[in-house]
Each structure stands twice: as C-alpha cells, then as structure tokens.
Structure 1
Amino acid sequence: MAAKTIRLLVCAALLSLVAACAGGARPDAGRPLIVTDSAPIVSGTMRAYQVRGRWYQPAEQPGYDETGQASWYGQQFHGRPTATGERFDMNGLTAAHKTLPLPGLVEVTNLANGRRLVLRVNDRGPFVEGRIIDLSRGAAETLGLLSQGVGEVRVRYLGRAPRLGGDGSRQHAAGTSPTPARGGTGPYWIQAGDFADRRAARRVAEQLGDRATVDVTGGDGRSLYRVLIGPWPDPNAAEQARQAVVARGYAGALLISAR
C-alpha cells in the first residue's frame, strides 16, 4: 500500500476516534466518572505507607474536593519512575497526591487567576505540612504557579485515568476558560493551540473538523486566538480525544475545563 494511502487511513481513524469520544460522553453530576477503558490501580499504591514518621492511607475518595496549597517539582526528578512506574516528565501535565488512587484524574484550579487544568495523578506527595498536591513543572507553569513556587488551589477528583496516559507535552494556556455549558460536571475542552494570528488559528480549526472553534482571549490590546475542540462532559473521553489530537501533530494540546 502506498505511503500516502496509509497516512490518509491513519488520519481518518484518528478523526473517527475524536468523533466517537465526543459522542459517547455522558454527564454524571456529583459522582466520579466511570471509565470503560480505565487504567487499573497500580498494585501496591493503595497500601498504607509511612513518610517522616507519619502514616498515610490511600483510598477511593469519590467526593474529594479540597482547597489548599500546591507546590511543584521538576529537574531533580525528571526521568525518574513515579509511583505508578511511569517516567516523570517535568514538562508534562501530571501531579502527585498523597492518598488518591493511582493513576487518576484531578481538576486543579489556581484560585488566584482562575486557570484550570485536568491533570494525571501518577505519583505520591507532597510530604510538606499544609500542601495538598505537587504539580509537575509544566502544570505549574501552565497554571501560573511557577514563579512563586506555591499557591492556593482547588483540587477535585474526577475518577480513574484512561489506560492511555498523556504524551507529556504542554504549551502555554490562556488565563481564561471557555464559556461553560449548562448542566453536567464539565464541560471539558481540548485546546489544540493558541495563536497571535487569527487566520492561522482558523486554518488549524478547519483541519480539526466541525467540533473545532476559535476562541478570542487576551488583554492590553493583544488578542490571542485559541483553537478549542469540544465540549465533552466526561474528562476521560476528552483525554482520549486529546491524545488523538496530539497524534495528529498538535503535541501541545491541553485538556481544560470550565464550570
């Protein structure tokens, strides 16, 4: 089969995946979302463990919704295995939590600027009094927490993570979220990229299909054009669709939310 034909078939399959993920999502208000292709809890990560004389007991926490301090970790752990066995990528969109199931998904909101991201939890920590979550460097930068080191956030547990993890790539996200749809626990959007040029954003949106739109944000006389795909009420379906967008060449695609 010719190489061009193979490429066309791969693109068609990826577009079908995005459409299928969009069509199959259902809202489930007030409960963690059930994933049909969720990654199993990694063996051993739900056992009680002790750090610096203090015991921690991981558990299923379907109603977990906490506000507290977030910190971040980076270069010193880059490339090392996390508690799930995945390699830590400091530029990825991941996080560490002391007691939530691994791997899982959480929604983290920076309360200072309103930025919100869905992150894959694949490690344990932080073991510092008063801190509820440790962010990868990439997640901290995207949420606007990099320079100060710590900041107040809201962390909401969304449920089990998809079997396929994120690709570890990231790019800068705007400080505002899309206009939320009514009802459900989402919506969740894929941000394929942001552009200073409206025409470039429109070209990308056209390449990504009917569900892609161009959202205008910015201030101080500078507009930013974001290409958004969605919405999905289910963050796991949205994450699987994000992976399809990444596979099409948009390595910085982000999963964001608005409520």
Structure 2
Amino acid sequence: MAARLAKTIRGAQAVALLSLLAACAGGARPDMGRLPVVTDPAPIVSGTMRPYQIRGRWYQPAEQPGYDETGMASWYGDQFNGRPTATGERFDMHALTAAHKTLPLPGLIEVTNLANGRRIVARVNDRGPFVDGRILDLSRGSAEALGLLSAGVGQVRVRYLGRAPRIGGGTALQQAAAPAPRAPAVPAGATYASGAYWVQAGAFADRRAAHRVADRLGDRAAVDVAPRGNDALYRVLVGPWPDANAAEHARQAVIARGYADALLISAR
C-alpha cells in the first residue's frame, strides 16, 4: 500500500513538473509569478564557456548558481534579427531572450525592471553587451515586456535560474499595474523645461526623415523645429531626463541604435 502511494505521489509530481515546463516553453505569457521548472535542460553549447577577448578585455564564462546582480540593461533588435546568436540559435527580436557576457549558454535568468517592478524570465542565448556600465542586453521583446523599450536603457536586477529548456523558456511573470507615463513632447521652438537634459539624435533639413528617426526611437523622441534663415532645421530630441547621468545613459543607447553623432543638451 505504501509503495503504491509513493508511486502515485511521484507520478503527480512528474505531471506537475511537465506542466510547468510546458508553460515555460510556450513563450511570453503571464505566469502568476511562478518561476519555470526545467526537467530536460539543453546542453551547454560547446565552445561558449571558453575564455574570450573583446576590445582587449578578457571574459571567463562560468557556472554561477548564485548570480544576482543589479546594473544597467540595454536592448537590441532589427539590426540583428534573424542572425545566429552565440548558441547558434537564430535571434528572434520578439522572443524573450537576452545576451550576457559570462553566464552559461543557453541559460535562464529572471530580470526585474527596478523602475516599475515588471519581471520576466528570459532565455540567455548570446554574448554581450560589450559596453562599459551594462550587464545585460535584452531582445526587443524582453525590453517591451519590461517597459524599457522607449527609454533604451534601464536599471535591472538579474538572477541566474539555471539551464534553459531545449526550446523557449521566455515567460512574462509580472506586469506593472499601470503603464509607465509617457514623456512630455518637446515644446516647439526649443523652449526646454528648466534643468532638463535632452539627447539630440540628429538634425535634418528633411522633415520626413526627422520624423522617421523619431518613430524608430520611441515615445520619448520628438521633432523640434528650429528656424534657419528661410528654411528650418528639424532636430530629433529624446527626453527629457532629470539629470546628466540619466541623459548620458540615454545618449549611449541612442548611439547603440546607430546614431553615432548623438549630443547631450542641457537647458541649465
């Protein structure tokens, strides 16, 4: 009798674990705060645990079961969509994935946006970001789920959960109760709020070109019209930001999106 009861309990536990794994592999959907349980982990991809050097700096990948770090995260999307990641998987910018410099590949991490409390589980399948001051690069889908898409960068907490399943693993765990407030539009004629900082992504003689760039950069970007003789100069401004440090993080994110001449503008 006891043996049959133990067998029944083990069977129920196995069914529960498989159900959690199915939820984990199903992609991004609310999961009531539960972390996924992986019963059939994918093997670590050969070669991804070797030391490597980028821009003169060495990195040593390793198993880090206690990894729990807070730092800045950025995101990447269109430019890399469909290209191979470090694991050999194709980068899907809409999936809940991420890049990390030293965690095992593929792995699972819990990422929390400290500004709004949003939380996801992401599949780590790539290396990066190789920018000072950043600990994680998010896919567009991950950044959107966390509410970081328009800002470009944000402070996050990253916890390593362990090996990833063979397929998928991305899950939205918690959404904010209300959407983040939209940044105010840039006032016409460059009448900036006192004490605010802005990032100028570019200046254009063509109004339509300026609006296309602003659309790519998200909700915090707007077009300011500056008179220039008989013509006008259309400047794409991102902001406002409350201090120079936040604005510089935003400027670096704009540069990473392909606008190398981005400038920091202060209204002080």
- Give structure 2 stretches of 5+ with no counterpart: 1-13, 22-35, 178-268
Question: 2:37 and 2:62 mapped to 1: Cα distance?
Answer: 17
Answering whether residue 143 of structure 2 is matched by residue 146 of structure 1, we say no
Q: Deviations over 1:117-146 (max 9, x none)?
A: 000000000000010000000100110001
Answering whether residue 71 of structure 2 is matched by residue 63 of structure 1, we say no
TM value normalised by structure 1: 0.54
Question: 2:45 and 2:53 mapped to 1: Cα distance?
Answer: 18
Q: Deviations over 1:38-80 (max 9, x none)?
A: 1000000000000111000000000000000000000000000
Moved over 3 A (4+): 17-20, 33-36
RCO comparison, higher one (Cα < 8 Å, 6+): 1
Task: Kindly indicate whether the alpha-carbon contact (under 8 Å) linking 1:116 and 1:143 is maintained by their aligned counterparts in 2.
Answer: yes
Q: Which residue of 2 aligns with 1:46?
A: 49
Answering whether residue 54 of structure 2 is matched by residue 21 of structure 1, we say no
Q: Deviations over 1:175-229 (max 9, x none)?
A: 14xxxxxxxxxxxxxxxxxxxxxxxxxxxxxxxxxxxxxxxxxxxxxxxxxxxxx
Q: Which residue of 2 aligns with 1:242?
A: none
Q: Which residue of 2 aligns with 1:132?
A: 135
Task: Kindly indicate whether the alpha-carbon contact (under 8 Å) linking 1:96 and 1:123 is maintained by their aligned counterparts in 2.
Answer: yes
C-alpha distance 142-85 of structure 1, shift in aligned 2 (>3 A) = same
- Give structure 1 stretches of 5+ with no counterpart: 1-16, 25-32, 177-259
- Classify the secondary structure of the residue corresponding to 2:79: helix
Task: Kindly indicate whether the alpha-carbon contact (under 8 Å) linking 1:34 and 1:160 is maintained by their aligned counterparts in 2.
Answer: no
Task: Kindly indicate whether the alpha-carbon contact (under 8 Å) linking 1:93 and 1:120 is maintained by their aligned counterparts in 2.
Answer: yes
C-alpha distance 97-21 of structure 1, shift in aligned 2 (>3 A) = same
Q: Aligned Cα RMSD in Å?
A: 2.9
Task: Kindly indicate whether the alpha-carbon contact (under 8 Å) linking 1:109 and 1:117 is maintained by their aligned counterparts in 2.
Answer: yes
Q: Which residue of 2 aligns with 1:174?
A: 175
Which amino acid in the other structure matches residue 78 of structure 2?
Answer: Q
Choose from 94, 102, 114 the match for 1:91: 94
C-alpha distance 129-164 of structure 1, shift in aligned 2 (>3 A) = same
Q: Which residue of 2 aligns with 1:181?
A: none
Question: 1:164 and 1:75 mapped to 2: Cα distance?
Answer: 22
Task: Kindly indicate whether the alpha-carbon contact (under 8 Å) linking 2:18 and 2:39 is maintained by their aligned counterparts in 1.
Answer: no
- Classify the secondary structure of the residue corresponding to 1:55: strand
Task: Kindly indicate whether the alpha-carbon contact (under 8 Å) linking 2:108 and 2:164 is maintained by their aligned counterparts in 1.
Answer: yes
Q: Which residue of 2 aligns with 1:77?
A: 80
Choose from 98, 104, 107 the match for 2:107: 104
C-alpha distance 18-113 of structure 1, shift in aligned 2 (>3 A) = farther
Question: 1:19: how far off?
Answer: 5.0
- Classify the secondary structure of the residue corresponding to 1:76: helix
- Classify the secondary structure of the residue corresponding to 1:151: strand
Identity of aligned residues (%): 79
Task: Kindly indicate whether the alpha-carbon contact (under 8 Å) linking 2:17 and 2:39 is maintained by their aligned counterparts in 1.
Answer: no
- Classify the secondary structure of the residue corresponding to 2:176: coil
Question: 1:154 and 1:94 mapped to 2: Cα distance?
Answer: 15
Which has the higher Rg, Structure 1 or Structure 2?
2
Task: Kindly indicate whether the alpha-carbon contact (under 8 Å) linking 1:34 and 1:159 is maintained by their aligned counterparts in 2.
Answer: no
Q: Which residue of 2 aligns with 1:193?
A: none
Question: 1:35: how far off?
Answer: 4.2
